[in-house]
Amino acid sequence: MPDDALVPYHKLADVDLDQIIERIASGEYQSKIAKELGCTPAALSRKLRNIPEATIARELGMETRLDQGLETMEDCMQRLSVAAEQCNVNLARVTLDQLKGADAVLRRLEWRASVEAPHRWSSTQRIESHVKHSYSTVLRSIDEIQSEQVQEKEVDSSEDGAG
């Protein structure tokens, strides 16, 4: 949408602020909402500036996005565990890439939270679920599991042959 098609600030008087505040509280970004309304993010921010509910909604929205980021990381960790149990190296590599991406998103969200609401999320309050595994660590774990499985099969085979 070209800039000249944007809704002037004074025309934002007709928008349902309660609905916008609700959307922000649910985790939607103000910039996305502004784009849908056809105004600039700055105009929407200016419209919401002195509304206490909007400030609370921003914090709730940030909390929602942080929670979603953590859920994504937990989901990746579970899939990584499944990949390791199944000795599926390809799935482990793909999932590890997704985990690293989710970690990067979570770090950006943490930074943004510390900037937008430092009283609630200071830079010293970090979420401690960042990626701690590297390719080599995960792949080494899968190799160890595969070795154990091979040894178990060899023991089972020798017991069957001896019996």
Tell whether 145 and 71 lie within a shared domain. yes
Residue 10 lies in a domain: yes
Tell whether 75 and 141 lie within a shared domain. yes
Q: Are 151 and 158 in contact (CB under 8 A)?
A: no
Between these two residues, 156 and 53, which has the higher pLDDT value? Answer: 53
Tell whether 81 and 136 lie within a shared domain. yes
Tell whether 74 and 130 lie within a shared domain. yes
Tell whether 40 and 80 lie within a shared domain. no
Q: Which two tokens stand for residue 60?
A: 């709730």
List own/partner pairs for 75-79 with CB under 8 A and 24 or more apart. Answer: 76/102
Structural domain range at position 39: 1-50
Residues 119-158 pLDDT 10s: 888 755 555 544 555 556 666 677 777 677 777 777 777 7
Residues 30-40 pLDDT 10s: 999 999 988 88
Residue 55 lies in a domain: no
Q: Structure pTM?
A: 0.69
* CA distance linking residue 41 with residue 9, whole number of Å: 10
Q: State yes or no: pLDDT of 85 exceeds 70.
A: yes
Say whether 51 sits in a helix, a strand or coil.
Answer: coil
